[in-house]
Amino acid sequence: MLNNKKRGLLASAGALVTAVALALGGAATAQAAPVDAMPDSSGLVITKLEQSGQGADTTGLKQTGLAGTPIAGVTFEAYQVPLVHNPRSNDGQQEIADITLAGAKALVAEKAASRSGKTDAAGEIHWDSSSSSGNLPAGLWLIRETGTPAGVVAAGDFLVALPLTNPTNLDQWLDTVYVYPKNHTVTGTKTVKNAEDFVVGDTVTWTISVDNPSPRDPATGAHVPADMLQIIDELDGHFLTTAADGSGVKIPGFVKDTDYSVTVAPGADNKTTVTIDFKAPGLAKIAGNAAAQVTLTLDTVIVQSGVVENSARFFSSRAQTTPKEIPGAEVKYGDFSLIKKSEGAPKDAKVNLAGAEFMVFGSEADARAAVKGDQAALKAALKPVVTVPGYNQKTGVWTTNAEGRVDITGLRYSAFADGSVITDTDKIQTYWLVETKALENHQLLAEPVSFLISGDVKAQTQTSQEIVNQYDRGGFVLPLTGGTGTLMLTVAGIALLAVVLIVARRRRHAAE
């Protein structure tokens, strides 16, 4: 009787090492049947579910109704831990009970995996009699997660002692042990802010947020630092640039080069890859605030007009085989063609359409003040950082060519900002043209002219507008200085006076 009790205690001690293996559960304590009845192998079924919080204790029995979505495509490897004693003996059971997870890792460090498998659509791997691989030999097994789908945080290594005592029939052994190591999934979002960035050359800010990747300790449920968090953003250099020293990346609460590093690497096709790697101190900070997302901002400069989409991707664990994509956000910048026309010119007049000068303003108030010559308002003119014919970037003046045309480029879409269509008509951006120098023989425009930058959702579409000026400075002619008009009036007046004098003299002579 004493021997039976001793054997039961040893078997129970061996079962204790499965605490880590049983999906955040507790130890499976049981009394074993006689040693000579202990099977020499046991089936093992691993079921992979998304983490949904601290699970209840599990016992090795198959469970139903568990919360969490199954995760397919997770790779596991099984390593048999070498033992001094036969695992089916009391000494072997005691040895198993004394081995820690760290000790088991050291013992299998140089060993190849005995089994490898990948979870199916139900999130399961079967190493049992139902599969071609068959059962696992009795003993202590270290189970390691070696590959996860994108955005899935790998669980830590865990131990399983096989076989296990049936917790509901203490004189029997389980034919198959079921374990439920859970993973939590990580997703990311990306947004952009450019509502106040009206022109090419402005700095727009992208915000990337990633779910906290810190896994839970299988035994305690506490969050522990992830083994990796890497965020990658590839910029199309035709449209976006960022500081080469990585200063465009900012992470509140984290210290660059201590908590994280930034690498800005030019690549093929004018692509620039910005890589943010979190170091051990940074990963520890993230684990310490497991309820919060990891959020960073990336400042970029808009280089030219176009519809620019920018996405990102990330690795949240070293077991992750491919990066998880983060949906992108868009910015849209377009062009406006101003076409100058003349009206009312005589047929024989030579009309010169070149040389009219314009400035562009972002508000009606600034534009109307500029018409009146307000210097402060003139300084508020929008000045895209572009190099195009007819544009002086320093002054912000656009000048028509011989055909009366000037292409004003690099303005934000009027009805698209911060990554989405603007539906509030009060927030649609209207731009204003002010003519600061008229065409030859034409009058200046008396008021600003409004226009919009627009296009469809797929591609930038250039807009245009004709502006007509009347010939002859508004349609009337001023007298020329030094002309014959007043001279002829004077001559006519003198002649009339002479006639009056002659008539008067003749009448006097007649009277005498």
Give the model's pLDDT for residue 204. Answer: 97
pLDDT attached to residue 495: 60
DSSP assignment of 85-142: S-TTSHHHHHHHHH--HHHHHHHTTTPPPSEEEE--TTSEEEESTTSSS-PEESEEEE
Does any domain span residue 58?
Answer: yes
Domain termination site, one of 301, 322, 343? 322
Q: Tell me if 104 is assigned to some domain.
A: yes
Total of domains in the chain: 3
Residue 508 belongs to a domain: no
The pLDDT value recorded for residue 152 is 82
Residues 97, 103, 108, 113: is their CA dihedral positive or negative? positive
Are 380 and 290 in the same domain? Answer: no
Whether residue 114 sits in one domain with residue 63: yes
Give the pLDDT confidence score for residue 27 in this predicted structure. 34
In a shared domain, residues 176 and 192: no
- pTM recorded for the entire structure: 0.71
Q: Residue 74 is part of a domain; what is its CATH number?
A: 2.60.40.10
- Exposure string (b/e) for 257-289, b if CB count within 10 Å is 16 or more? eebbebebeeeeeeebebbbebeeebbebbbee
Give the pLDDT of residue 52. Answer: 55
Ordered per-residue pLDDT tens for the chain, 512 residues: 333 333 333 333 333 334 334 433 333 333 444 444 789 999 999 998 876 555 556 788 888 777 778 889 999 999 999 999 999 888 999 999 999 888 999 999 989 999 999 999 999 999 998 888 899 999 999 999 888 888 887 777 889 999 998 888 888 899 999 998 877 789 999 999 999 999 999 999 999 999 999 987 766 668 889 999 999 999 999 999 999 999 999 999 999 999 999 999 999 999 999 999 999 999 999 999 988 899 999 999 999 999 999 999 999 988 888 999 999 999 999 998 888 887 777 777 778 889 999 999 999 999 999 999 899 999 999 999 999 999 999 999 999 999 999 999 999 999 999 999 998 989 999 999 999 998 888 888 889 999 999 864 334 344 567 777 666 644 444 454 444 444 454 555 556 665 656 666 666 666 65
Two tokens, residue 211 = 């779910």
Any domain includes 4 = no
DSSP 487: H
The pLDDT of residue 438 = 87
Residue 97, domain member (yes or no): yes
Q: Is residue 479 part of a domain?
A: no
Domain boundary among 322, 344, 367: 322
- At residue 473, the pLDDT reads 47
Beta bridge partners of 399: 357
DSSP 173: B
Q: Are 393 and 303 a contacting pair, CB within 8 Å?
A: no
Same domain, 342 and 435: yes
> Helix/strand/coil (H, E, C) string of 186-201?
CCEEEEEECCCCCECC
Question: Do residue 349 and residue 425 come from a single domain?
Answer: yes
Judgement on whether residues 312 and 352 belong to the same structural domain of the protein: no
Same domain assignment for residues 173 and 204:
no
Final residue of a structural domain among 322, 346, 363: 322
Residue 194 shares a structural domain with residue 292: yes
Q: Is residue 488 part of a domain?
A: no
Find the domain containing 339 and state its range.
Answer: 333-470
Q: Is residue 391 part of a domain?
A: yes
The CATH number for 314's domain is 2.60.40.740
- Mention every residue, 6+ apart, whose C-beta is less than 8 A from residue 111: 79, 80, 82
93 with 175, same domain: the answer is: yes
Whether 64 and 136 share a structural domain: yes
Q: Is the dihedral of CA 129, 132, 137, 140 positive or negative?
A: negative
Same domain, 63 and 115: yes
- 352/431 same-domain check: yes
